Amino acid sequence: MATLVSPPVRKLPTIHQTQCFIGGQWLPSQSGKTFETIDPSTEQVIAQVAEGDAADVDLAAKAARKAFEEGPWSKMDARDRGRLMYKLADLIEEEKEELAALESLDNGKPVRDSLAADLPLTIDCLRYYAGFADKIHGQTIPIRGNYLCYTRKEPVGVVGQIIPWNFPMLMTAWKWGPALAAGCTIVMKPAEQTPLTCLRMARLAQKAGIPDGVINVVPGYGPTAGAAVVKHPGIDKVAFTGETSTAQTIMRESVASLKRLTFELGGKSPNIIFADSDLDAAAAGAHFGLYFNQGQCCCAGSRVFVEDKVYDKFIDKVASMNTSRRLGDPLDPTTEQGPQVDKTQMEKILHYIDLGKQQGAQMVSGGKRFGEKGYYVEPTLFADVNDDMSIAKDEIFGPVMSVLRFSDMDDLLKRANNTMFGLAAAVWTRDIGRAHTFAKALRAGTVWVNCYDVFDAAAPFGGFKMSGIGRELGEEGLKAYTENKTITVAM
Ligand code: NAD
């Protein structure tokens, strides 16, 4: 049984922004409608937020177009764009305690995680791309004949960015960083469950001096505001992070305008633990790789393959970590696990736990809702999972670890790759040859060896197969916001 942290006196962050941010102004939605954002730990309404839809997206797209074509952004030296981005990162850093609390209030993630992961990674990402702003350049190309041929990398234009709720600030930074560095302007649609930190970042962007219209934020629902971003003829590219099925809808909707698309989607990542690994480190790494952020990570190591010889020991270690895990108020700095983001997610996870039981997996720990208030799910561990069970195939997006057994190495690789996803994978072993063999053969965009969830703004991230198209972060992530122009001059 996980332990309950007693609720402390809650010091709530201030909510400054709940309206659309368009052309540098805070506006109610054109329809006047609002939606509620909920604290998932108490089920109480935190704020009423403007419910943007097609009319607001249209205004935002026009403001972004104006800023792109006429405004100071397009005329500004790249180095000055970078300077404003550094300033934004500095302002976020100055308010990091407040922003971490706001993220935890809106999303439910423990504030210690917001402070240790979301905030530093957000700041680092913006600084990394700020440094890139004046280092985006083309090539001179020796072609036949008496010509000077060179290429320029130009901003793709007005970009629509649609993000999920699991890392609201960090996903905002992953989207804004490369777009701003490249000189694009932005129409952002945050997730309806967690709009608050993205809106707060827009406020800080304005304070940093990023010109009006460069960043526009339209909160609202996917099928209305999100779909309007995808369909808008004045938006040149859509960068989307979310579910694979939503990406398929977006792709269909983009056919008419041939928008540039980049997708960061779901996963069912294999985490392979060999008997020769440092088992304590592997168990701790696998635990972190699955239960971090309440299991709501696209790259969660949710199919854990453990070699027969150490299988029982591994199960004992993870079960014991689950027993002492502290669930409670996300704003309490000692809390290790908060609630799921909303009731829908909690119910989906509980449904998968039922399927796991029905289909014959052995439930070792957890297995039910935790408490009666808030959308908490106990850290749940299933042993004796086989490859055909729903809990081994589907993305659960919750604190449910499925542990599978292996002894045959060739068979293992086939099993690990036998999924429509290909976002991430990990291998734990002391055998360097085997580590590299698996790193090469695993069909995934990221492979961690003897570690998990190591992220850096400089390291590209994205999916093989149905886990995505394109990459975010690093130089690859920047390329996705540029068009290549070839110029040939007769000499
Ligand atoms: P989702 O696809 O339901 O929603 C994501 C965003 O898309 C939200 O802002 C939503 O409002 C919007 N949306 C929904 N329908 C839309 C439509 N028809 N047109 C345009 N926009 C629409 O995903 P979610 O449940 O919020 O997030 C969880 C998913 O995100 C998981 O599958 C997870 O693996 C994935 N994810 C991937 C990464 C990555 O980097 N690969 C990172 C985080 C999350």
- 14 lies in some domain: no
- 68 lies in some domain: yes
Do both 216 and 87 map to the same domain? Answer: yes
Q: Is the CB of 191 under 6 A from ligand 1?
A: yes
- How confident is the model at residue 75, as a pLDDT? 86
User: Is it the case that residue 6 has pLDDT exceeding 70?
Assistant: no
Measured in Å, residue 54 CA sits from the centre of ligand 1 at 19
Q: Work out the mean pLDDT of the chain and round it to a whole number.
A: 97
- Tell me what the mean pLDDT of segment 107-113 comes to: 98
Residue of higher predicted confidence among 10 and 215: 215
- Tell me what the mean pLDDT of segment 278-301 comes to: 98
- Tell me what the mean pLDDT of segment 59-81 comes to: 95
Q: Is the CB of 248 under 6 A from ligand 1?
A: no
CATH code: domain of residue 188: 3.40.605.10
- Tell me what the mean pLDDT of segment 189-215 comes to: 98
Do both 427 and 473 map to the same domain? Answer: no
* Residues spanned by the domain of 275: 270-449
- How confident is the model at residue 2, as a pLDDT? 60
Q: Is the CB of 219 under 6 A from ligand 1?
A: no
Select from 196, 237, 248, 298 the residue to mutate for testing ligand 1; criterion: most ligand atoms less than 8 Å from CB.
298
Model ipTM?
0.94
- Ligand 1 nearest atom to the CA of residue 472, by list position: 40
- How confident is the model at residue 195, as a pLDDT? 98
- 461 lies in some domain: no
The residue whose CA is least distant from atom 16 of ligand 1 is: 222
For 221-225, 253-257, 303-307, 308-312, which range has the lowest pLDDT when averaged over its residues? 253-257
Measured in Å, residue 170 CA sits from the centre of ligand 1 at 14
- Tell me what the mean pLDDT of segment 164-188 comes to: 98
Q: Measure the CA–CA gap between 21 and 355, rounded to whole angstroms.
A: 43
- How confident is the model at residue 9, as a pLDDT? 63
CATH code: domain of residue 403: 3.40.309.10
**Tokens in use for 224?**
């209305």
Do both 441 and 479 map to the same domain? Answer: no
pLDDT digits (tens, 9 = 90+) for 278-288: 999 999 999 99
- How confident is the model at residue 7, as a pLDDT? 52
Measured in Å, residue 249 CA sits from the centre of ligand 1 at 11
Are 335 and 326 contacting, i.e. CB atoms less than 8 angstroms apart? yes
Do both 72 and 101 map to the same domain? Answer: yes
- Ligand 1 nearest atom to the CA of residue 242, by list position: 30
- How confident is the model at residue 71, as a pLDDT? 87
Q: Measure the CA–CA gap between 399 and 348, rounded to whole angstroms.
A: 12
- 333 lies in some domain: yes
- How confident is the model at residue 409, as a pLDDT? 85
- Ligand 1 nearest atom to the CA of residue 174, by list position: 40
Number of domains in the chain: 2
- How confident is the model at residue 11, as a pLDDT? 80
- How confident is the model at residue 93, as a pLDDT? 98
The residue whose CA is least distant from atom 22 of ligand 1 is: 222
- Nearest residue to 219 (alpha-carbon basis) of 313, 377, 106, 340: 106
- 424 lies in some domain: yes
- Ligand 1 nearest atom to the CA of residue 266, by list position: 34
- Tell me what the mean pLDDT of segment 304-325 comes to: 98
User: Is it the case that residue 8 has pLDDT exceeding 60?
Assistant: no
Do both 252 and 281 map to the same domain? Answer: no
Cα-Cα-Cα-Cα dihedral of 404, 406, 410, 414, to 10°?
-10
Do both 428 and 473 map to the same domain? Answer: no
Residues designated as active site: 264
**284-296 core/surface letters (b: 16 or more CB in 10 A; e: else):** ebbbebbbbbbbb
- Tell me what the mean pLDDT of segment 11-37 comes to: 95
- Tell me what the mean pLDDT of segment 301-316 comes to: 98
- 15 lies in some domain: no
Are 260 and 237 contacting, i.e. CB atoms less than 8 angstroms apart? yes
- How confident is the model at residue 408, as a pLDDT? 87
Do both 307 and 369 map to the same domain? Answer: yes
Helices and strands counted in the chain (H then E): 17, 22
- Nearest residue to 122 (alpha-carbon basis) of 53, 200, 193: 200
Q: Is the CB of 249 under 6 A from ligand 1?
A: yes
Do both 254 and 311 map to the same domain? Answer: no
In 330-429, the DSSP E strands lie at: 362-365, 380-383, 400-406, 424-428
- How confident is the model at residue 267, as a pLDDT? 98
pLDDT digits (tens, 9 = 90+) for 358-390: 999 999 999 999 999 999 999 999 999 999 999
Do both 318 and 225 map to the same domain? Answer: no
pLDDT digits (tens, 9 = 90+) for 442-459: 999 999 999 999 999 999
Do both 46 and 146 map to the same domain? Answer: yes
Do both 33 and 81 map to the same domain? Answer: yes
- How confident is the model at residue 74, as a pLDDT? 83
